[in-house]
Structure 1
Amino acid sequence: MSRGDREASSGILKHSMRDNYAELGVEEYYRRVGATYRNPHFPGVRSCLFRWMNAWWECERSNSPSNGFTVFDMACGSGEATLAVLEWWHLGRRAFDESQLPNSSDPGLTIQQAAILKRNANKFVRPPPIVSESPRPTILAADPFTAEAYRARTTLGCSSLSFSEIAEGGLSDLLSSSQGENNSGDETADIIPDTPTIDMVICSFALHLIETPSELFALLWELSMKCKWLVIVAPHKKPDIKDGWGWSKWNVETWSECPMTESKGELLQERVHCRIYRSLNL
């Protein structure tokens, strides 16, 4: 398969996304590639989200691991964020199961093996052990262009809600419909709590595509009324989020609020940036 064929099969018409957007416009580009879209930056997205989930779990959830949590994958693409979160959870569960096994004899690491592990420490972030009582995270997803690719890759449901529809309150309907689906049928299905609050909304490589500050404000304010955490994954530090938009910026390293303009405590993995915000309305 030629490079051009590979790019086409992964939803890339031209190597530069900037060229794609300039020639076709954002909406038309995703209409054309929506069914086959793949984010080529997935390794960086995965690493950033693993680091975020580790910090969040340790600081927020380690004392109540049996409580479920809900993630909203907004503008979900083909499910890169969803796959990362679910992989993180499965590896955490496996780590717990392995920790319960009888200790086997360990001959120890050679100097060479220890050096390799040290070099690779930043490439693979191990999730903490997650106890067996912890339910699988509930995933909500929405994308007006790539829902087909998301369903095919994750086998999960996906709404077609757009940014503007979410800003107008569409997330409430998604929460209600998902709660109804999960509460009927399979008793082992993930259950959304009675209070319609989402633990975190993750937006990967999409929020910077909103064209005007007023549209961005409307979306973020609405999200701040329903979501505790906002996780923005992007190839750069855009968009700019202002004070008074319903969110405070969060330093992941110190686990504390920080100025909106401060870059300390942001995550950077394989040229992918991850910024965290905490709702001021919940």
Structure 2
Amino acid sequence: MPRGNRDTSSGNLKNSMRDNYTEHGVDEYYKKVGATYRNPHFPGVKACMYLWLNRWWRMRQPHIDAKKFKVFDLACGAGEVTAAVLEWWRDGRDTFTARQSRGGHDAESDSETVVPARRLRLPPPIPPEMTVPCILAADPYTTQAFHTRTHLYAHPLSFRDIAEGKLPEIASKPVGAPKPNNPPESPSPEGSVRGHSPSKSSISTAASLEANIIEMVVCSFALHLIEKPSELFALLWELSLKARWLVVLAPHKRPEIKDGWGWCKWDVETWSECRLTDSVGELLEDRVHCRVYRSLNV
């Protein structure tokens, strides 16, 4: 299945992704264009991410740890999602600075100066204590294209690698970079299970696990490439143990995520759970569909 049917830009071989997949196969195609791949749907990806992040910020702000905002760009391609997240953060910081220069007046509240449709896309004021998002990125084919665009580092992990429990390190460090000397010891989750210092250990373990939670996994134009339901289940269940939100961007409504896979569908408008088969609360921008899911295990 193609990532998208829109005519593609140079660097992606033929103009049609469907033709590329038919001629080369998915794996071979991305091996050929891994260093030059570009997603032509970036405007829609960016618009969807801005709308989602604005809503997420408004509803989750009191609970956001300003120093631990982790975003996992899964099957990161050329970094379209990462670019959108970082641009949203920078625009939000600029909005905050502009508001401060006006003595705290919020220009967005002036309906005569900002049309409603544009207001939805304007990032909220992001204060200085909200540090730059911590990006994790993985793609077995396009690490070079990701680095070229973002100057960050993606790990060459596949869907199967992630399903087996592997995760990339933060994207600001080169793959294989040495870890800090004498890293702080983290409590073992088994400690409380086995009965060693139950009260203190369990509290420390809970804090450690919470600190390691990924706020959101975003998979753009790739999740539907997993054709076997058993493989999709394995991936999504593993992610549900490590991440709070799953954001799926696609040119259509595939893949189907089922009950018992660790996620509930989330209505972005009402900020509440909805049926997996419902289309309410989804986002659609420039032919890009955005569906959001909330982990049932975090």
Q: TM-score range by the shorter chain?
A: 0.7 to 0.9
Percent identity, aligned pairs only, is 58
In structure 2, stretches of 5+ residues that fail to align are: 1-6, 105-111, 182-206
CA deviation string 1:114-164 (max 9, x = no partner): 6xx539628x71000001111111000000000010011101111000000
What aligned pairs does 1:1-282 form with structure 2 within 5 A after superposition? Answer: 10-62=10-62, 64=64, 66-102=66-102, 118=115, 121=118, 125-171=121-167, 174=169, 184=180, 194-195=208-209, 196-282=212-298
Whether the aligned pair in 2 keeps the contact of 1:68 and 1:134 (CA below 8 Å) is no
Report the Cα offset of residue 181 of structure 1: 6.8
CA deviation string 1:150-201 (max 9, x = no partner): 0111011110000001001112x647x97x979849xxxxxxx943210000
- The corresponding residue for 1:107 is none
Report the Cα offset of residue 247 of structure 1: 0.2
In structure 1, stretches of 5+ residues that fail to align are: 1-6, 105-112, 186-192
C-alpha distance 8-128 of structure 1, shift in aligned 2 (>3 A): closer
CA deviation string 1:219-276 (max 9, x = no partner): 0000000011000000000000000000000000000000000000000000000000
Report the Cα offset of residue 11 of structure 1: 2.6
Q: Distance in 2 between matches of 1:61 and 1:279?
A: 18
Q: Distance in 1 between matches of 2:27 and 2:11?
A: 14
SS in 1 for 2:115: helix
CA deviation string 1:85-135 (max 9, x = no partner): 00000000110011111469xxxxxxxx96xx539628x710000011111
Q: Distance in 1 between matches of 2:286 and 2:14?
A: 21
Alignment RMSD: 2.7
Whether the aligned pair in 2 keeps the contact of 1:68 and 1:136 (CA below 8 Å) is no
Q: Distance in 2 between matches of 1:263 and 1:165?
A: 31
Whether the aligned pair in 2 keeps the contact of 1:65 and 1:130 (CA below 8 Å) is no
- The corresponding residue for 1:189 is none
Report the Cα offset of residue 9 of structure 1: 6.9
Whether the aligned pair in 1 keeps the contact of 2:8 and 2:39 (CA below 8 Å) is no
C-alpha distance 226-65 of structure 1, shift in aligned 2 (>3 A): closer
SS in 2 for 1:157: coil
Q: Distance in 1 between matches of 2:94 and 2:65?
A: 15
Whether the aligned pair in 2 keeps the contact of 1:92 and 1:127 (CA below 8 Å) is yes
Counterpart code for 1:156: L
Work out the number of aligned pairs and report it. Answer: 257
Counterpart code for 1:149: A
